[in-house]
Structure 1
Amino acid sequence: MKELKNKGRQRWRDYICLFVSFLFVLYFGINYKSIIYNSHTLGNGIKILVLAGLWAIGTVLIFVKLEVKEKTGRIINILYVFLSPCFIFLNMEAATFAMGKSFSGLNKSLLLFNICFILILELICIVLTNRIRLGTDICAFICVMFNIANYFVYEFRGTPIIASDIATISTAAEVASSYEIKFNWYHLVTLLLLFDFFMFGRVIKCKPVFSKKKFRLCGIIVMAIISVVGVKQFILTDYLDNHGLKLSLFNPMRSYRTYGSIAGFSRSIHYSILKKPEGYSLEKVEEITSKYESDTVDKTKEHPNVIVVINEAFSDLKDLGDFETNEDYMPFVHGLMNDRNCVSGTTYASIVGGQTANTEYEFLTGNSLAFLPTGAVAFQLFVKDAMPSLVTQLQDEGYMGSTAIHLHRASNYRRDRTYPLLGFKDFYNYDTVTTPIEKLRHYATDAGSYQRIIEDFESYKKDSDDPYLGYVMTVQNHSPFISRGDDNYKQTISLKDMKAEDVETYLSLIKLSDDAFKDLVEYFKNVDEPTVIFMTGDHQPRINDASMNALTKGQYKNWNDEEMMRHRYAIPFVIWANYDIGGQKVEQTSMNYLQTRLMETTGGELTGFQKYQQDLQKEIPVLTGNGYVGSDGKFYELNDETSPYYSLLQDYSILQYNDLVDTKNRDNDFFNLQK
């Protein structure tokens, strides 16, 4: 009777496997073009043969049953356990394979690290499930799915998954719903290999690993000890660096492909830990801050209204390379940058393609991502208490309003909690606005966001003549840059002698942003009170690799970190006033310095921290989370201890730690105005 039940279960398992096999054929039939016609150099016929061969192997294995002696079975089980990590590693890397890059820097030590990591994960799964086949299958599934997800995250924002992304998973899920996921040939090969692996495992007879619970408990304890020691000795140290892994902060995907995704992700764990700066003490803080005294608030002084705009993905793609369009995609901003009433130039962001809140953090606080863990979002992880910001500074000067507008989900990047901690009194977002939101491609338009800040401005001005502060974080130009049939979007900008649909979509959106910003400026031109409008983008957009190569004439994939920063992280900024502020061009700066630049332009009082930044900019004009430029014009990595500016960076990191982390001992007289 028991034998009949087992045969019945086996038969149903075979049916399920056959159904999965049928799904591969069905999916391929429906998505034939998107799978076969991609940029891979193999011919279409060879691609089809590879897919057919892999599918046939897995399907045939469904019906294979291996009968061997018990001793031979044990040997097969042992070989299966220790050879599987090699297969899993190659299989998972196939999902993100890039010709000429993958494994190009993989030495024996790093190869062994990747495989040993998989082996430990496999053994953990085996011990927990008490089944060799099930544990190995779970391990394989986790690894392969991780790298497929890694590929799509890279496609969406231009950078792969890193350790600190765990904290932003809810925001990532919200954003991911806007993207279309399409599997390519590599992905189908990877999934078929995984299918073959699972079917091969079914051929092998595997008995429970531990016959008694106490042996299994010992196994769990041993694996826990191995895991803790391994993380401490190989991941949280410089082991990977010392064995040739150099994680490119400007292009981490290149490092993942070069050294293996597991090694790359493991290195990002090391970078994701916020450490107290070397030499940090309250005495050292006092030594630095004592040289700079904050200004005292002058209540008799008149101040202009201030409108701040952080524009989603607003950038000038001419920073990437020369190309021609049918018309100028930002004529108003280009003209404004030559106006006498405008301070303008190029700023460098610490991010690209995503993590907008990090640019907000740098601008509003004056702090830098250079001293935070790689990929960490400060709003999510570190802003837990009220802290000094541009908002609190202007409030001390008598500004009213302090209104933030972001017509998207308030919980994204924890803005609903962080904005109040930075001093904002009102936050109008997707969930709180009562009037209909004008949308384009399912996102609120710039024009709609600006209209609401104007309405808020007019509302406050009915009852008071105090200067007004308003802040707008737009969302119109959010990726993906694809046109769907139901979009109320019309392409107005086209490229000449180049095919890049996503670029044309993006530039058409930028033209709409330019038009909307023109209307905002025109409104405040007619306001009697002096008004200053600051506008910059948060980062450059995520453009697919084929379009990037077209824009850069194939140079993009060869850029080093300095070239990547100067091209891929460059963003225009403008500070316009409805009165003469003396036109000024700023050749280069970075997001953390821009609030100081804004306060200089408005003629407002400066904090000790802003005066410190004024001096620091003379020595380090550009500082990003990925590297910096010294006054000698050279590019330096953040951890380069031979740099002549290294000690200045250490001082800056000490001040930031005192402001952001050691809040109980924060030097408030330095970070705030004197009252």
Structure 2
Amino acid sequence: MKKINANTKVRNGKILESGKRLYEYMFKESSRLRSTGTAAAFLMYICFWVFLEKGLNAETEKLRGLFCLDGVLLLGLLGKIRVSDKVRECLSVVLFLAAPAFALGAIETLHDNSVAQMKFLFVFLNYFLILTVFVILYFFINRFAWTIAVGTGIFTFYGLLYSFVKEFRGNGLRAADVYAIQTAANVAGGYTLDFTEKRVAVILWAILLIIAAFYLSYENHRRDRIATGAVSLCFVLVLSFLISNETFLETYSVKPYLWELEASEKDHGALLDFAAGLPFLKVQKPDGYQQKAAADLELEKGSLGGTSLKVEKTENVENPHIIAIMNESFSDFRKLGAIQTSREIMPNWDARQENVIKGFASVPVFGGWTANSEFEFLTGFSNAFFPSGTIPYQNYVKQGTPSLNSQLKDEGYTSVFIHPMDSSGWNRKNVYQFLDFDASLYLENMKNPETLRNLVSDRGDYSILIEEFEKRKEEGPVFLFNVTMQNHGGYTGAGMPNPIQITSPGENFVWAEEYLTLIEESDRALEELLQYFEQEEEPVVVCMFGDHYPKIEEELYEALSETATGNPAEKTALEYQVPFMIYANYDITEKEYENISLNYLSSLLCEAAGIPLTDYQKYLENLYESYPVVNVYGVKNSQGEWFTWDEALQFEEIQEYEKIQYRNLFDNH
């Protein structure tokens, strides 16, 4: 028995000795700092899992194996793997190149997108963008392991943040969200962060990648910062050129989509979609701009006054209810040239003459991009001073942006925004919070509204408007801003019964005929709305205007242009002029405007309603005397002469306008 025990001891001793030798061969002796760090990391890892266990429940079982693997490998860091420096260097480089690929996959996975379905160019740009960040981190840290740890942590956090934001509001992070950090902090307390199985899985795989990096733990003993810095600089320069080059962005469709936000983030990838929007966040300061000088100039020019936008009233009315309606694709084709139709298109509009101000407003867009017209009306700012192709709602509106609403709230108004479409369009859900509207109503808040062509009709829209007005008018003066949807594009020629027929010029313009029939319906619905407010005992002012001309047959536009008078620039300018009307249910002096750009319209509305003008509006009233149209397409002076922007930017008053607008929009705090 003793002999057996002795043999067993010998055998066990050999096994232990072999294990010791194997350990010593594979691992070097660990330093006290490494051991302490590993122990602390393991304890944090256990706490992390205990925290997640509370929310995952049954889903935890699917991730337990990955969790245990991470834990075991983390404990293994108590030793240091014995590998030659050459092998360690090669493996570290492979891992360094693989980490951005993991980050890209993680980010896209977290917002339910597939890298495999993205175009190669967009995959490459996302990878290159992430790799550039890793290269820059390595330049500063000079350690592969810590670079991979920090870089992987940053992009895992970004992916999680992106997915949480998308869950809360329907679309992920946009470049303009850098202006909304404070707002996000204010509302974050009302949400619960749900660590789903997918989110936890990404975190665990990220931890595994970081642990693998520390197993290799390659150090660049040469500390060749010059070479690393040169590579970093090259990466940054190439990336900066690609992201800021508008020609490249436009040619290869890299520029974020301005309407379909979800499609944009899926096609481009979350990170690229965010980064490509950064160049458009802020407009360059005008040459010679100084904040105080611009403020003084605004007061000086505003004090000179202007009479063209004044509205005489025979009644002393204070704070009437204000209803502003931007009607989708509402336009008047009679403005473009000689057109004949089988019946009148806008008979009620034409017949309205008493207590109305009418005319045409020059809008900044044609055929789409509704939000730019919306922005000009609400703020009085012109899109003409922004980079081509940008949408202020996406890039420039932030908390505290001055607007008609902030002006009216100072006068005690309650405000509501109404739009019978999804709240995700044009970033409106965020914009109307930034503009401090008291309430917003979207399609998801409306119960069975009347529809036409599967869109909420103007009549159905106005019934909701009236209901909201009746509900709130007892609280004091009400400001309702309504953006309609009935006339939106997608004309097929088969969407309306008994359509208006175009008899001249030409024929078979089926899209245009469907559109004109919709305008006929808009005309009826508006007349019913005005008749309703005629009976209202309290004073009411209604302002209605179009946002742009529709996308219909190009041949009709060409045919009408041939019948119009004026030079080519003047003919094209007509396609940016939509009708507007301001009606009051009390006595005001009737006026008609041949052409006024949309940035002046809210000032004219305030004059009709007797609302005290802001300093900026007083300045605009003075500017209107010299330049009644300041538009993206061009500038028109008081003598009726049109100028391109290259020409207009040489005019002193236009240069002053650019500085004053810049101060109010970007430098007013």
Q: TM-score, normalised by structure 2?
A: 0.56
Residue 346 of structure 1: CA displacement? 1.2
Residue 389 of structure 1: CA displacement? 1.2
Kindly indicate whether residue 279 of structure 2 is the aligned counterpart of residue 277 of structure 1.
no
Give the aligned CA root-mean-square deviation in angstroms: 3.6
Aligned residues: 411
- Following the alignment from structure 2 to structure 1, what is the Cα–Cα distance between the partners of residues 304 and 483? 29
Output the amino acid matched with 1:436.
N
Residue 224 of structure 1: CA displacement? 5.3
- Following the alignment from structure 2 to structure 1, what is the Cα–Cα distance between the partners of residues 234 and 449? 54
Match of 1:445 in 2: 457
Give the match's secondary structure for 1:543: coil
Q: Counterparts in 2 of 1:483-632, with a 5 A limit?
A: 483-484=493-494, 487=495, 489-497=496-504, 498-499=506-507, 500-553=509-562, 560-565=568-573, 567-632=574-639
Stretches of structure 1 that go unaligned for 5 or more consecutive residues are: 1-120, 129-165, 169-216, 238-267, 665-675
- Following the alignment from structure 2 to structure 1, what is the Cα–Cα distance between the partners of residues 530 and 331? 18
- Following the alignment from structure 1 to structure 2, what is the Cα–Cα distance between the partners of residues 272 and 544? 35
Do 2:337 and 2:563's aligned partners in 1 also have CA atoms closer than 8 Å? no
Question: Runs in 1 of length 4+ with deviation above 3 angstroms?
Answer: 217-237, 268-273, 292-295, 550-556, 558-562
Could you say which structure has the larger radius of gyration? 2
- Following the alignment from structure 1 to structure 2, what is the Cα–Cα distance between the partners of residues 233 and 587? 40
Residue 612 of structure 1: CA displacement? 0.5
Listed one character per residue, the Cα deviations across residues 305-344 of structure 1 (whole Å, up to 9, x for unaligned) are 11101000000011222111111111111111xx131011
Stretches of structure 2 that go unaligned for 5 or more consecutive residues are: 1-120, 129-173, 177-227, 249-276, 306-315
Output the amino acid matched with 1:418.
V
Output the amino acid matched with 2:324.
V
Listed one character per residue, the Cα deviations across residues 353-379 of structure 1 (whole Å, up to 9, x for unaligned) are 111111111011111011111121101
Match of 1:261 in 2: none
Residue 475 of structure 1: CA displacement? 0.5
Output the amino acid matched with 2:466.
I
Residue 542 of structure 1: CA displacement? 1.2
Q: Measured at CA, do residues 606 and 409 of structure 1 come closer, stay the same or move farther in structure 2, by a change above 3 Å?
A: same
Do 1:349 and 1:359's aligned partners in 2 also have CA atoms closer than 8 Å? yes
Q: Which has the higher helix share?
A: 2
- Following the alignment from structure 1 to structure 2, what is the Cα–Cα distance between the partners of residues 397 and 503? 43
Residue 541 of structure 1: CA displacement? 0.8
Match of 1:379 in 2: 393
* Farther off after superposition, 391-400 or 568-577: 391-400
Listed one character per residue, the Cα deviations across residues 158-201 of structure 1 (whole Å, up to 9, x for unaligned) are xxxxxxxx989xxxxxxxxxxxxxxxxxxxxxxxxxxxxxxxxx
Q: Counterparts in 2 of 1:341-490, with a 5 A limit?
A: 341-400=355-414, 402-433=415-446, 435-461=447-473, 463-464=474-475, 466-484=476-494, 487=495, 489-490=496-497
Q: Measured at CA, do residues 371 and 328 of structure 1 come closer, stay the same or move farther in structure 2, by a change above 3 Å?
A: same
Residue 483 of structure 1: CA displacement? 3.6
Listed one character per residue, the Cα deviations across residues 59-115 of structure 1 (whole Å, up to 9, x for unaligned) are xxxxxxxxxxxxxxxxxxxxxxxxxxxxxxxxxxxxxxxxxxxxxxxxxxxxxxxxx
Q: Measured at CA, do residues 286 and 453 of structure 1 come closer, stay the same or move farther in structure 2, by a change above 3 Å?
A: same
Residue 289 of structure 1: CA displacement? 3.0
- Following the alignment from structure 1 to structure 2, what is the Cα–Cα distance between the partners of residues 555 and 586? 19
Q: Measured at CA, do residues 271 and 459 of structure 1 come closer, stay the same or move farther in structure 2, by a change above 3 Å?
A: closer
Listed one character per residue, the Cα deviations across residues 581-603 of structure 1 (whole Å, up to 9, x for unaligned) are 12111121110000111111112
Q: Measured at CA, do residues 283 and 395 of structure 1 come closer, stay the same or move farther in structure 2, by a change above 3 Å?
A: closer
Kindly indicate whether residue 663 of structure 2 is the aligned counterpart of residue 655 of structure 1.
no
- Following the alignment from structure 1 to structure 2, what is the Cα–Cα distance between the partners of residues 430 and 437? 9
Residue 652 of structure 1: CA displacement? 1.4
- Following the alignment from structure 1 to structure 2, what is the Cα–Cα distance between the partners of residues 356 and 642? 26
- Following the alignment from structure 1 to structure 2, what is the Cα–Cα distance between the partners of residues 439 and 654? 45
Match of 2:262 in 1: none
Match of 1:307 in 2: 323
Give the match's secondary structure for 1:606: coil
Q: Measured at CA, do residues 327 and 640 of structure 1 come closer, stay the same or move farther in structure 2, by a change above 3 Å?
A: same
Q: Counterparts in 2 of 1:170-319, with a 5 A limit?
A: 227=238, 274-291=283-300, 292=302, 302-319=318-335
Do 1:491 and 1:505's aligned partners in 2 also have CA atoms closer than 8 Å? no
Do 2:649 and 2:655's aligned partners in 1 also have CA atoms closer than 8 Å? no
Give the match's secondary structure for 1:534: strand
- Following the alignment from structure 1 to structure 2, what is the Cα–Cα distance between the partners of residues 552 and 641? 25
Listed one character per residue, the Cα deviations across residues 391-421 of structure 1 (whole Å, up to 9, x for unaligned) are 1211221223x11110001110111110122
Q: Measured at CA, do residues 375 and 229 of structure 1 come closer, stay the same or move farther in structure 2, by a change above 3 Å?
A: closer
Give the match's secondary structure for 1:571: strand
- Following the alignment from structure 1 to structure 2, what is the Cα–Cα distance between the partners of residues 480 and 559? 31
Residue 518 of structure 1: CA displacement? 0.6
Q: Measured at CA, do residues 229 and 590 of structure 1 come closer, stay the same or move farther in structure 2, by a change above 3 Å?
A: closer
Residue 453 of structure 1: CA displacement? 0.9
- Following the alignment from structure 1 to structure 2, what is the Cα–Cα distance between the partners of residues 619 and 508? 38
Give the match's secondary structure for 2:482: strand
Percent of aligned positions that are identical: 32
Residue 232 of structure 1: CA displacement? 10
- Following the alignment from structure 1 to structure 2, what is the Cα–Cα distance between the partners of residues 345 and 412? 29
Do 2:356 and 2:588's aligned partners in 1 also have CA atoms closer than 8 Å? yes
Q: Measured at CA, do residues 545 and 287 of structure 1 come closer, stay the same or move farther in structure 2, by a change above 3 Å?
A: same
- Following the alignment from structure 1 to structure 2, what is the Cα–Cα distance between the partners of residues 345 and 474? 20
- Following the alignment from structure 1 to structure 2, what is the Cα–Cα distance between the partners of residues 614 and 456? 32
Give the match's secondary structure for 2:645: coil
- Following the alignment from structure 1 to structure 2, what is the Cα–Cα distance between the partners of residues 301 and 516? 27
Residue 227 of structure 1: CA displacement? 4.5
- Following the alignment from structure 1 to structure 2, what is the Cα–Cα distance between the partners of residues 229 and 270? 9
Q: Measured at CA, do residues 656 and 226 of structure 1 come closer, stay the same or move farther in structure 2, by a change above 3 Å?
A: closer
Give the match's secondary structure for 1:547: helix
Q: TM-score, normalised by structure 1?
A: 0.56
- Following the alignment from structure 2 to structure 1, what is the Cα–Cα distance between the partners of residues 234 and 553? 41
